[in-house]
Structure 1
């Protein structure tokens, strides 16, 4: 869907990223007492860096545009943290995970609110402003 100059698809990709982040944080919290479990993290920055490293030539309308044409997943890359916090080798810090969970929830709610606003605008246009 390419409505609103790609805004809806951008929000959709951001919602996918937030959903993946939520799943990873939930897995970390669920495994807080599992010996040897390495906490995971989702990083969009790693995805962007990876896409830029393998940059392909793309049609650009402006010299300031990125030089890659990739439909890289907006989900991000799931990676393990190699830091041990306790003697069992578990690297889950429950306080950090709960903080990340709250931050991600606020981010997700803001995205849903923005998507709702865009769809309401579209609905208003389709109804002719009535």
Structure 2
């Protein structure tokens, strides 16, 4: 039902929020370990994988194996498979204790990720506001 009302937008925004939350946790962990000896920071890369899933999903079709099946467009299965890649992101200037967390870099990533998360929330709210407006008829 949600696919018929929203298309893939709600599923895409939901997946984006999940991945951004996961990335926020990784960045927070990096900041929490800024003084841990031999700690290597990590980050979550998912944008390219998400774009590929969206482009594949738009052309994918579900097979109708019975004449009584309702034909649907594919797409959400591709989004479900996106998990992102956790990558180590050591700073070039490793400290004397082996820690390679650059606090300034991590704070920048944290801020950027939070802005993108908030933007996704706002887009999702606009989608729901449009549906509310259509239901009210005003």
Poorly superposed stretches of 4+, deviation over 6 Å: none
- Residues 6-64 of structure 1 show CA distances to partners (whole Å, capped at 9, x for unaligned) of 1111111111111111111100000000001110111115746xx8xxxxxx659xxxx
Give the alignment partner of residue 115 of structure 1, picking from 100, 121, 124.
124
Q: Which has a greater percent of helix?
A: 2
Residue segments in structure 1 that go unaligned for 5+ positions in a row: 52-57, 61-68
Residue segments in structure 2 that go unaligned for 5+ positions in a row: 54-59, 63-76
Which has the higher Rg, Structure 1 or Structure 2?
2
The answer for the alignment partner of 1:102 in structure 2 is: 111
Normalised to the residue count of structure 1, the TM-score between the two structures is 0.75
Distance 2:121 2:47 in 1: 22
Distance 1:46 1:10 in 2: 13
User: Residue 79 of structure 1: CA displacement?
Assistant: 2.1
Distance 1:108 1:100 in 2: 12
Q: Secondary structure at the match of 2:16?
A: helix
The answer for the alignment partner of 1:90 in structure 2 is: 99
Structure 2 vs 1, CA of residues 95 and 79 (structure 1 numbering), >3 Å: closer, same or farther?
A: same
Distance 1:86 1:35 in 2: 9
Distance 1:88 1:119 in 2: 50
Normalised to the residue count of structure 2, the TM-score between the two structures is 0.71
Q: CA RMSD in A?
A: 2.6
